[in-house]
Amino acid sequence: MPAPFRGQINVDIRDSQPDWTPFEPPRAPDRAPNVLYIVLDDVGFSAMSCYGGPIETPNIDRIAANGVRFTQWHTTALCSPTRSCLLNGRNHTRNSMACITEAAIGFPNASGTIPPENGMLSEILGELGWNTYMVGKWHLCPTDEMNLAATRRNWPSGRGFERWYGFLGAETNQWYPDLVYDNHPVEPPRTPEEGYHLTDDLTDKAIEFIKDAKAIAPEKPFFLYYAPGACHAPHHARSSPAVSIWVMRKCGSRPWLGKRGWAWCRPRSNCRRSTRSGHPRRVPARTICRSRSWTSPGRGIR
């Protein structure tokens, strides 16, 4: 609640005393941290090397080494439900997100519309003095509200994000994306022939949002929800000499990724994860390593 008015109001303005406190915007506490959410679709728990996976992620590994790696995060195995849980801490059915928004039905647990009383982190932090930005994939809006004639109540701008840039649905072409900037559609700033790729564009826009505010209020913290669509279908990897060299170098040093398959890779990733996560008893490396088939009932970890 806003602070009460403590000024004085009299008939004569000369005898009145103003008080601006109730009308000032909220201010975050001193030295409040910035908050960055990076959300990747369809990336397995042990895909990254800091969790024992075969994909080298040095920058993420560096962050993980100086922070905390959680081991009990629960996903709902679908885009919209998991996103809703991540943004407000409630179960997906309480968010009316039992399935993706395109499959919403007219029942309280699966309408594709998050109840307004289920406050999102963006709404909470915005009311506490953070700048709030969202770039990338949203997928928390009913299909019939993904148009310019619809209400913006379920768009990012209607759920606490001051600025946003990305796409509303489940997926989009990474070279010719269906982009929305705040409350209106826009065309990509460049063509693929000019080097355009959506992931780069989203990153540039996120940096732009942060710089715009920091140039005026460098001490003000921000909450950035960064959700690229690159790991989701249609799997359009950016084409460049640097990327090609990286793919050849990483995958070339791991030929078993393509030759031996996931069933061979999975138990070995779990072995590494069990020793790196700090919870070996939860993922028994000995049991997993001895399993020859994780798809057979009663064998390995299911």
Q: How far apart are CA 177 and CA 136, in angstroms?
A: 11
Burial of 93 (0-12, 13-18, 19+ CB in 10 A): middle
* Catalytic residue from among 50, 79, 85, 271: 79
Q: How far apart are CA 105 and CA 99, in angstroms?
A: 9
Q: In the chain, helix, strand, coil percent, each to 5?
A: 35, 10, 55
* Catalytic residue from among 139, 197, 232, 236: 139
In the residue annotation, 232 being an active-site residue is answered as no
Phi, psi (degrees; rounded to nearest 5) at 55: -95, 120
127: nearest Cα among 38, 25, 228, 50:
25
Q: Which two tokens stand for residue 263?
A: 């069933």
In the residue annotation, 251 being an active-site residue is answered as no
Q: Which residues carry out catalysis?
A: 79, 139
